Amino acid sequence: MTRYITISLDKRGVSCRAALLDDAAPRTCEAVWNALPQSGQAYHAKYARNEVYTLVRPFADPPVGRENPTITPIPGDVVYFGFEPWEIGNPAYGYDDDSEAHNAEGATDLAIFYGRNNLLINGDAGWVPGNVFATIVEGLDEMAAAAQDLWLRGVEGETLSFRRAD
């Protein structure tokens, strides 16, 4: 039976529904499912292109490792990244001092991709593969419009939330 999550940009009042890819990423799906709900400051990617994400404290114990990885996510992909503290805390990335990016345990990045031509590369670290663990099945167009609004008008005060769906 397929499990679903709801992903929301709370301030903008926009949500989408995503199906977990339990067959392709079972460890990641289980870790995320068991950690829901998750919510945090929304960010729009600088490097990856058409990505909106949040950073939360690491929750996978043990770490899930790589499964169903990509460096070229497509529209509708929902992706998990696990970062060590040294990988994400660079001041050039622009995170506030109280951001999860500066957590001594590292950070978990939960991301959605809403457009084409994404490439997960970072000038400091090189390729940044992530685990595709879900695909958006409803509401992608609305999320894409809201994500574009984030890019144009800013993310301040916006949260990206992930929760179990009925």
Task: Write the pLDDT tens digit of every residue in 127-151.
Answer: 999 999 999 999 999 999 999 999 9
Whole-number pLDDT of residue 46: 81
**Sorting pLDDT into bands at 50, 70 and 90, what band is 29?**
very high
Q: What region does 57 belong to: left with phi over 0, alpha with psi -120 to 50, or beta?
A: beta
**Sorting pLDDT into bands at 50, 70 and 90, what band is 48?**
confident
Evaluate if residue 122 carries a pLDDT over 90.
no
Q: Which two tokens stand for residue 95?
A: 């995170």
Evaluate if residue 23 carries a pLDDT over 80.
yes
- Give the least confident one: 51-60, 84-93, 99-108: 84-93
**pLDDT tens digits, residue range 62-87?**
999 999 999 999 999 999 999 988 88
Higher pLDDT, 148 or 89: 148
Whole-number pLDDT of residue 68: 98
Q: ∠ CA(94), CA(58), CA(152), 5° rounding?
A: 35
Residues 6 or more apart whose CB falls under 8 angstroms from that of 74 comprise: 113, 116, 118
**N- to C-terminal Cα separation, the chain:** 12
What is the Cα–Cα distance from 45 to 93, expressed in whole angstroms?
Answer: 10
Whether the Cβ atoms of residue 6 and residue 165 lie closer than 8 Å to each other: yes
Kindly report the average pLDDT of the chain as a whole number.
Answer: 93
Whole-number pLDDT of residue 94: 74
Task: Please state which architecture CATH assigns to domain 4-164.
Answer: Beta Barrel (2.40)
Verdict on whether the full-model pTM lies above 0.85: yes
Collapsing DSSP to helix, strand or coil, 128 comes out as coil
